[in-house]
Amino acid sequence: MNRRIWLYVLLAIVVLAASAAWTKEGRPLPGKSAEGEKAATLSIWVYHKGWDVVLAEFQKKYPQVNFDLRTFRSADQLYKELMASVSAGAAPQLAEVQSFYGVAALASSGAAVPQQGEADPRSGSAPLAAFAEPFRYDGKLWAAPVGGSIPVLYYRDDAMRRAGLEPVVSLDWSDVEKAASLPAKEGAEQARGHWGLAIDTELPWYLQQIGPSEEESVALWERWAKTLRIMPPLSHPMAASDFINGKIGLFVSSSDRLPMIERYIGGKFQFDLKRLPGADSAGTVPAATGIAMMHSTADKEQAARRLLAFLDEEASQTMIWRNIGLIPARESAVLRAGEEAGGSPRAQTILESVSSLKPTRPAADDEERWLRLTERLERIELEAGDEATAELAGDAGRAGD
């Protein structure tokens, strides 16, 4: 009988030892699946396409975690619905958030869980400040940084060639104006008669990068819309498709658009990209992307933390770069992505920008400032459109006399 008792004691010791090796602070050791854990389904809202590939890779390691993935048209649409869901007590467990505005409101809502944002113990690499600081408010990190993007100028090779700017080594805004003002080559699908310049929808972000001050940037914007008329007014929602379809020659947009642009242009025409004029000397404020975690049940919060830890790994960061187009948030992953992208000058141009990125902190009035600048630029473009319409009407009247 005593012998049987001792056998039970020894068996219990073995089980406890195995449990201690398996678990550390409730987390499986790297590379181990959490078999036996309670299954959890996480609701995750995103605005970038390509997250399904990353999440599927996570599920190979943690099959007990399932996802209810919802993809929004834009970061703005997601943010508005997220804040509405927070007010209604129906927020998702995880949400992709952008750094332009809304971090302060999310932090003040009480729905988000602060993150750690510490150095990776395996590589010693901490998140790049330019991608982490935009989510730090009131001394806490409110989203786990997963990457970011920079503003770039996409351009058709033939537009630069006609302007005498090829090979394109460096550009200033006068070069851009020259190329955009030239007549398109014969046979191109140009409705406006010249190559033209289009700017994507995040107007205040691009404005911030154009000139040394807000007023100088606004003056350039007005020059393009009213004086030179190289920028079609109020056409920003169609800017990407206009460039891809050959209706515009130069396009200011985000670097994370590159995978989509390459896919849809295919071999229709040759194009390239450069950082915006002045970016090397003045630095660049990136668009940072993070994953915010909301308060939920203990099981779901544990699964959400597991996913955030997975996204922070170097291999996951490079996967995000390949599938989503976001510059990795950790320097070690940037270096690895650079090695993989050795044969792509476009990718190298984007990754090399990391050394000149400028970190910013969120403010409570970020959204108010964003809306104010958007309205100011749209008003300039509306006036430009009215002036052009009035001129056409005058020309038609004189022709009829």
Q: What's the pLDDT band for 21 if we cut at 50, 70, 90?
A: very low
What pTM does this model have?
A: 0.86
Residue 398: Cβ within 10 Å count: 8
Q: What is the 3-state secondary structure (H, E, C) of the chain?
A: CHHHHHHHHHHHHHHHHHHHHHEECCEECCCCCCCCCCCEEEEEEECCCCHHHHHHHHHHHCCCEEEEEEECCCHHHHHHHHHHHHHCCCCCCEEEEECCCCHHHHHHHCCEECECCCCCCCCCCCECHHHHHHHEECCEECCEEEEEECEEEEEEHHHHHHCCCCCCCCCCHHHHHHHHHCECCCCCCCCCCECCEEECCCHHHHHHHHCCCHHHHHHHHHHHHHHCCCCCCCCHHHHHHHHHCCCCCEEEEEHHHHHHHHHHHCCCCCEEEEECCCHHHHCECCEEEEEEEECCCHHHHHHHHHHHHHHCCHHHHHHHHHHHCCEECEHHHHHHHHHHCCCCHHHHHHHHHHHHECCCCCCCCHHHHHHHHHHHHHHHHHHHHHHHHHHHHHHHHHHHC
Higher-confidence residue: 151 or 116?
151
* pLDDT of res. 194: 86
% of the chain with per-residue pLDDT over 70 = 84
Model confidence pLDDT, tens digit, residues 193-205: 789 999 999 999 9
44 phi and psi angles, rounded to 5 deg: -130, 130
Q: Tell me what the pLDDT averaged over the chain comes to.
A: 87
Measured over the CA atoms of residue 216, residue 222, residue 225 and residue 229, the dihedral's sign is: negative
Report the pLDDT value the prediction gives residue 227, as an integer from 0 to 100: 95
| Alpha-carbon separation of residue 295 from 90, 99, 105 (angstroms) | 11, 21, 16
Q: Could you read off the pLDDT of 382-394 as tens digits, one per residue?
A: 999 888 777 765 5
Q: How far apart are CA 69 and CA 71, in angstroms?
A: 7
Tokens of 322: 């390949």
Query: In this predicted structure, what is the pLDDT of residue 92?
Result: 98
% of residues, the chain, pLDDT over 90: 75
Q: Average of pLDDT values for 209-220?
A: 95
Residue ranges and CATH numbers for the domains of the chain are 35-149+286-356 (3.40.190.10), 151-283+365-396 (3.40.190.10)
Cα separation, 242 vs 363, whole angstroms = 34
pLDDT at 133: 97
Residue 349, pLDDT above cutoff 70: yes
Residue 56 pLDDT class (50, 70, 90 cuts): very high
User: Omega before 167 cis (within 30°)?
Assistant: yes
Please, which pLDDT band fits residue 184 given cuts at 50, 70 and 90? Answer: confident
pLDDT at 280: 83
Inform me whether the pLDDT recorded for 115 exceeds 60: yes
For residue 55, the model assigns a pLDDT of 98
Q: Which residues, 6 or more positions from 395, have their beta carbon under 8 angstroms from its beta carbon?
A: none
The per-residue pLDDT for range 318-327, each reduced to its tens digit, is 999 999 999 9
Given a cut of 50, whether residue 165 has pLDDT beyond it is: yes
Pairing assessment for the beta strands 144-149 and 197-199 based on DSSP bridges: unpaired
Each residue of 217-259: pLDDT tens digit? 999 999 999 999 999 999 999 999 999 999 999 999 999 999 9
Range from 5-14, 150-159, 232-241, 280-289 carrying the lowest mean pLDDT = 5-14
More confident residue, 81 or 390: 81
Going by C-alpha positions, the residue among 105, 99, 85, 76 that lies closest to residue 44 is 85
Q: Give the pLDDT score at 340.
A: 86
Q: Is the pLDDT of residue 68 over 50?
A: yes
